[in-house]
């Protein structure tokens, strides 16, 4: 069996034991690495005055990780710059927040070259190479430029934007052309895949062929939809375990019979938190008889704090939650508990299970794993209701959720009422359909689907 080389911006070292805090992606990739052997390569998260190309190898849990340090200028231009000030907002349809700076582009190229130079000697002839996400789109091309002939795959974890948005990116054409260095390019949903095909056919003059193939300038790749899932079985077990029960009891004891509405998101403008708070405020305004009977817990650990748009969203949410609480709180009730920190997955599972409503309302999201985790954590005999943005990739699979337009405070408010009033039989019926999908299309299914395509297995059909 060929070895697997996973390359991503950051590497998740394996954590063992019950305190493990690993998300689905890391769990699946580590399992694949353990089975096939190989290396997970990426940035250490550390900086060094001058880039040396020194690789730090670590072994643990049957997996080898290899990391490099980057220069502060690399981090500014590549990570905080092109990746998170240019590509992230643009690919989430936020052209208003997108910054275009020439230095960002050159830093992005330089770091992709540094990745290529340092990882290249670690790869053997038969190895399969799987590159992840928007930080590293040109890496495949950089490797090919160095004479690399292995099977190469790329998976994009965020949306692919419509062509008319992508056209605003200087050198968009060059960036998309680099994807033709891969053998397989994967997206979460048919929507993102359609946007990619649309760009390639209309802007590049490429052509579509059978079995998901796309051809451009004599080079044929497979472009597939492969929706990521979670480690469902483990998460269901965690939700029924002791740590989760303890978290659930903490929630019940502090809520005195009130219904919990939960939101769990990285603090990011794409997650629709401002609009969510405004929707909840509308609900409080329009349903005075329900005030005091519900409360919202929003967990939002800060991320990308060096990027100014993230500082702004944080300040906005501090102000908005304060305003709503100031307006509606009573001496024995606070409508929003707003918590800016991370929790172990077992604790999260317990919080999800305690919640009558899971509010997952991104303005745009490649997939959204929180929606699937909420479903997996529910008590089968008395499940809660998932309210889900129709603009999350997950909406294509989780059709029995209460789907909403996250921009509409009115729709959010109505959906909360509908969820609170939903009879148990309907909650069970919807949940059974949801969990069926979350179990079937879990993260291991996703990993196998992509790797089968990457190996070039005959008949490897995408979702
Ligand atoms: P993210 O934008 O980070 O991922 P998401 O898919 O929701 O979004 O995953 C977040 C993960 O972080 C979840 O597993 C969640 O449990 C965890 N998490 C969030 N808040 C936490 C907290 N306070 N404590 C502990 N854990 C917390 C990107 C894309 C998504 C895509 C994924 C995977 O933006 O669209 O689904 O990659 O491809």
How far CA 244 is from CA of 220, 345, 412, in Å, comes to 48, 9, 28
67 CA distance to ligand 1 middle (Å): 22
The CB of 25 under 6 Å from ligand 1? The reply is yes
365 belongs to the catalytic site: yes
Residue nearest to atom 37 of ligand 1 (CA): 157
User: Which pLDDT tens digit goes with each residue over 39-96?
Assistant: 999 999 999 999 999 999 999 888 999 999 999 999 999 999 999 999 999 999 999 9
Ligand 1 binding pocket mutation candidate from 266, 268, 350, 397 (most atoms within 8 A of CB): 266
Sorted by where each starts, the structural domains of the chain and their CATH numbers stand as 4-229+443-462 (3.40.50.2000), 232-440 (3.40.50.2000)
Question: How many helices and strands in the chain, by DSSP H and E?
Answer: 17, 16
Cβ burial of 405 (10 Å; 0-12, 13-18, 19+) is middle
Ligand 1 binding pocket mutation candidate from 93, 156, 367 (most atoms within 8 A of CB): 367
The CB of 29 under 6 Å from ligand 1? The reply is no
Q: Which atom of ligand 1 is nearest to the CA of 300?
A: 23
CA distance 147 to 279: 54
User: Can you give the pLDDT of all 463 residues of the chain as single tens digits?
Assistant: 889 999 999 997 776 544 446 666 888 899 889 988 999 999 999 999 999 999 999 998 889 999 999 999 999 999 999 999 999 999 999 999 999 998 889 999 999 999 999 999 999 999 999 999 999 999 999 999 999 999 999 999 999 999 999 999 999 999 999 999 999 999 999 999 999 999 999 999 999 999 999 999 999 999 999 999 999 999 999 999 999 999 999 999 998 889 999 999 999 999 999 999 999 999 999 999 999 999 999 999 999 999 999 999 999 999 999 999 999 999 999 999 999 999 999 999 999 999 999 999 999 999 999 999 999 999 999 999 999 999 999 999 999 999 999 999 999 999 999 999 999 999 999 999 999 999 999 999 999 999 999 999 865 555 5
CB 261 within 8 A of CB 356: yes
CA distance 425 to 216: 52
Four-point Cα dihedral 408, 412, 417, 418, nearest 10: 90
The CB of 77 under 6 Å from ligand 1? The reply is no
CB 240 within 8 A of CB 450: no
CA distance 35 to 33: 5
Ligand 1 binding pocket mutation candidate from 156, 368, 392 (most atoms within 8 A of CB): 368
The answer to whether ipTM exceeds 0.95 is: yes
The CB of 228 under 6 Å from ligand 1? The reply is yes
The CB of 23 under 6 Å from ligand 1? The reply is yes
The CB of 367 under 6 Å from ligand 1? The reply is yes
- CA angle at 324 for the pair 319 and 330, rounded to the nearest 5°: 130
Note the Cα 402 to chain centre separation in Å: 21
Q: Structure tokens of 62?
A: 């049957």
What's this model's pTM, rounded to 2 decimal places?
Answer: 0.96
User: Which pLDDT tens digit goes with each residue over 165-224?
Assistant: 999 999 999 999 999 999 999 999 999 999 999 999 999 999 999 999 999 999 999 999
């Amino acid at each position: 069996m060929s070895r697997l080389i996973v390359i991503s911006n950051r590497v998740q070292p394996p954590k063992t034991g019950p305190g493990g805090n690993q998300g689905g992606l890391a769990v699946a990739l580590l399992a694949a690495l353990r089975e096939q052997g190989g290396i997970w390569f990426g940035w250490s998260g550390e900086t060094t005055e001058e880039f040396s190309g020194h690789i730090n190898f670590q072994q643990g849990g049957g997996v080898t990780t290899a990391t490099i340090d980057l220069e502060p200028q690399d981090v500014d231009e590549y990570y905080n710059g092109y990746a998170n000030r240019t590509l992230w907002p643009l690919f989430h349809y936020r052209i208003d927040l997108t910054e275009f700076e020439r230095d960002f582009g050159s830093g992005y190229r330089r770091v992709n070259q540094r990745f290529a130079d340092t990882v290249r000697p670690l790869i053997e002839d038969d190895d399969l190479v799987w590159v992840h996400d928007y930080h590293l789109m040109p890496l495949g091309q950089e490797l090919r430029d160095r004479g690399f002939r292995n099977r190469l795959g790329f998976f994009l974890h965020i949306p692919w934007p419509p062509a008319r948005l992508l056209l605003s990116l200087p050198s968009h054409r060059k960036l998309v052309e680099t994807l033709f260095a891969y053998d397989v390019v994967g997206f979460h949903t048919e929507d993102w895949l359609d946007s990619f095909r649309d760009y390639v056919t209309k802007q590049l003059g490429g052509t579509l062929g059978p079995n998901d193939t796309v051809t451009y300038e004599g080079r044929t790749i497979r472009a597939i939809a492969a929706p990521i899932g979670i480690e469902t079985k483990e998460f269901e077990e965690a939700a029924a375990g002791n740590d989760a029960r303890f978290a659930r009891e903490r929630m019940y004891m502090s809520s005195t019979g009130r219904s919990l509405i939960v939101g769990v998101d990285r603090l990011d403008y794409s997650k629709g938190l401002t609009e969510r708070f405004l929707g909840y405020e509308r609900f409080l305004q329009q349903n005075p008889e329900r005030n005091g009977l519900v409360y919202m817990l929003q967990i939002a650990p800060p991320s990308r704090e060096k990027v100014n748009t993230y500082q702004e969203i944080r300040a906005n949410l501090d102000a908005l939650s304060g305003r709503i609480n100031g307006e509606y709180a009573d001496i024995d009730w606070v409508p929003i508990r707003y918590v800016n920190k991370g929790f172990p997955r077992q604790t999260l599972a317990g919080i999800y299970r305690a919640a009558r409503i899971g509010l997952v309302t991104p303005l745009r999201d490649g997939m959204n794993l929180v929606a699937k985790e909420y479903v997996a954590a529910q008590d089968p005999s008395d499940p809660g209701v998932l309210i889900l943005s129709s603009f999350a990739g997950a909406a294509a699979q989780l059709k029995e959720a209460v789907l909403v337009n996250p921009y509409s405070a009115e729709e959010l408010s109505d959906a909360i009422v509908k969820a609170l009033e939903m009879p148990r039989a309907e909650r069970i019926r919807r949940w059974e359909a949801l969990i069926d999908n979350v179990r079937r299309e879990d993260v291991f299914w996703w990993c196998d689907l992509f790797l089968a395509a990457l190996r070039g297995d005959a008949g490897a059909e995408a979702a």
